[in-house]
Structure 1
């Protein structure tokens, strides 16, 4: 099985980047169907036959799937990291302005 039978990484990113509220029911259904088919294809395709980008996409999706099962998706983890970074920066800025 080759990567040309798989959903491209760019397609996956653009689907996730577009808010669900801006998609039609047919778009959502199509994305769900193609996403499920891609998961199956990724699971049965040997690692040695995958391109670097497909390996990255599969591992990222696997991490996101595990995170969603635990109640915290990859997006939530990224938001938390950005919030922590912002708090650290604002705290240091605040400390510097007191001196």
Structure 2
């Protein structure tokens, strides 16, 4: 379960697994805005104040981990769904 004020893990997964080519303009813009806001929230909240599930979720989606590519992005790229085709 995600922390209060953060994007739910279900929403993140659903957005990540649907290719941009199947999304409308509004949906793409909405996903980008939600992701940006969630990333900002992740960066502003110290890991010591996050729940265990939120820390794990942030590490999976590369929020505040400092890696150049999240595990989710790596998986999407491996199956040809990512932006690094």
What TM-score, normalized by structure 1, do the two folds share? Answer: 0.62
In proportion to residue count, which structure has more helix? 1
Q: Which position in structure 1 is the counterpart of 2:10?
A: 10
Q: Which position in structure 1 is the counterpart of 2:23?
A: 23
What TM-score, normalized by structure 2, do the two folds share? Answer: 0.71
Q: Which position in structure 2 is the counterpart of 1:49?
A: 49
In structure 2, distance between residues paired with 1:67 and 1:58:
12
Runs of 4+ in structure 1 deviating by more than 3 angstroms, as ranges, are none
Structure 1, unmatched stretches of 5+, are 80-99
In structure 2, distance between residues paired with 1:46 and 1:40:
12
Aligned length: 73
Alignment RMSD, CA only? 2.4
Q: Which position in structure 2 is the counterpart of 1:67?
A: 69
Shift of 1:67: 2.5
